[in-house]
Amino acid sequence: MIDFQHVSKRYKGAEQYAVEDVSFHIEDGEFVFLVGPSGSGKTTIFKLLTMEELPTDGSIQVNSYDLNRLKHRKVPFYRRTLGVVFQDFRLIQTKTVAENLAFVMQVINIDPYFIDDRVDEVLTWLDMADKKQRYPSELSGGEQQRVSIARALMNRPEVILADEPTGNLDPDLSRETLRLFDRVNRELKTTVLVVTHEKTLVDEMNRRVLYLDRGRIVGDRQQGTYEIAGAKGRR
């Protein structure tokens, strides 16, 4: 569950809010796109969700955690409930695919035997078992993004957050990546929030879309229902 209530964020020294009076609610198991042009506040919302930033005003709750009141020592535990996917993959180039995935669990001292089993399980589910011993430089861009999604799934997160995950991919690979997030949501019942500016690709999918512009939510399309500025209609 993700819940924003009247959330605003103004960075130190800035005259304007990056996001202002933003409220939305995402239920467990939902798949939602957050769409908006550059500078609309998408990155700020992403950083608020990962606790890289704290809100200036308002309240945020994610996975039963109250982010406004979360003690610093509890932040790593909160982040373990998230799987995060980035535009630039952020894979460790000196490690194989298997080692990249294993590292996620090694840093929290999970038993190595369990880690090996989980690596095999995730790669098999993603049809990438044959890439296990490859290095990132030996993979295509689409394959590297699949590995980054695999890494995000390692700890069985409650929520997947993806920040412009198709930004470095061509249209066909972008569609394939969005279909993979759709599969994660449908088969694993994981809540998915994809932040993107790729409105054309998003419109091809029958999923909820939150529209962000100039730091405010200006529309909410609910799988065929279109709502903007308080007015509802059918598309």
Q: pTM to 2 decimals? A: 0.91
The pLDDT, as a whole number, for residue 123 is: 97
Question: Residue 232: pLDDT above 50?
Answer: no
Could you read off the pLDDT of 32-87 as tens digits, one per residue?
999 999 999 999 999 999 999 999 999 999 999 999 999 999 999 999 999 999 98
Task: Report whether pLDDT(100) > 90.
Answer: yes
Per-residue confidence (pLDDT) for residue 223, from 0 to 100: 62
Q: Tell me, what's the pLDDT at 224?
A: 54
Reply yes or no on whether the pLDDT at 235 is more than 70: no
- Mean pLDDT score across all residues of the chain: 92
The residues near 165 (Cβ < 8 Å, ≥ 6 apart) are 85, 86, 87, 145, 148, 149, 177, 181, 194, 196
pLDDT at 222: 84
Nearest Cα neighbor of 150 from 172, 171, 170, 134 is: 134
> What gap in Å lies between CA 159 and CA 30, rounded to an integer?
10
Residue 231 has pLDDT above 70, yes or no: no
- Provide mean pLDDT across the span 152-171: 94
Instruction: Provide the 10 A C-beta neighbour count for residue 179.
Output: 11
Residue 193 has pLDDT above 60, yes or no: yes
d(CA 43, CA 110): 31
